[in-house]
Structure 1
């Protein structure tokens, strides 16, 4: 970490690599985030409607519960678990391949700080872009919830809208964004560590990719417990 967070030797090259990582790690994940969030928002709405429907329950309860689930857990924690599999394995396999093919050794011989050159742009890109993905996930989930009203007809959009607006707490949105910052750092740093320290051949690269996903997921769940406790009001 000390070598990774040292000042880039050539800021122009760092910025070029930073933009590339935002495109590869962040922008390329927008599609999968929107798709999963849309269907999860729709499924949550249907399940809640079917399982808690009761004369004693207000009709807007479905929208209220859907909003709380999307804001507090799914769009931040569960979405980052999914990204740990997609983005984390990408980082670990890329760095691992560079290590076993001696590309990293070549950078070291040329006097380049390979840790800062290769890892710092990935960490910066994820920490900046994952909160944006969380925001997209929230909106996609809400659109998915509305789609069940428009196309499935399980309830009226008016009742869903009232539940989505009922007793809204803005701090919950910020909780999701704050947690995603920590999760982004975990995904990028843990995956980079496993990829950067690979020893052996191509088989070890596959093991490193798997280990990075497993370790990142475990750390995300552990951090989620701590952050939820610290951020609760």
Structure 2
């Protein structure tokens, strides 16, 4: 995961210098505003989005550019479901191992996956949209820098691709959404939760009533084939494990210069 200072190349005295317009693939500021306001129409409807609109569009555009360099097969939903099952096993691997494999596997089913650092005024974990009817894009920011958040975000975005329409654009932030948007987000949450830890497996694990020690969590993670940090994150989210406990089982990530 390489931070290559691409955003800072857009900074210059002239607000709309030619290289900035070229970066966005437009001829004028007016064209940029018209294109991205239409693309992110629901962003404007929310009063609670914490991100800067300009920074967010730059982050999304970078994802488009990187996705253009990823050759993808024609989208196949059944193939993508198979790929998602295979990727679960990669959660135990370090980034230098799982990142290229995730990109390759998803591309084989018509989904481009890119990792783009968030910008100073963006506060999003990920985004999902369709670049064309045969190619979807999952863009991840590594915002929280732990494996439980990264993998939940990945499967959440994958859920949007499988469950929702090709005209939808999903940007994961804490914003006010209408009931339909909230329903879609909940569906994606449930998809990610179930993909990572099957409800029956978690129920059996908790039914024993034994203390949630690190050793038990690691053993359970090994049995179901995922990273222990993901189990910790799930237990913390469900209120079964205090947020201060077992965080050393989570794998932390950093962008490499």
The reply to whether TM is greater than 0.5 is no
* Greater C-alpha Rg: 1
User: TM-score normalized by structure 2?
Assistant: 0.21
Q: Greater relative contact order (Cα 8 A, min sep 6): structure 1 or 2?
A: 1
User: TM-score normalized by structure 1?
Assistant: 0.23
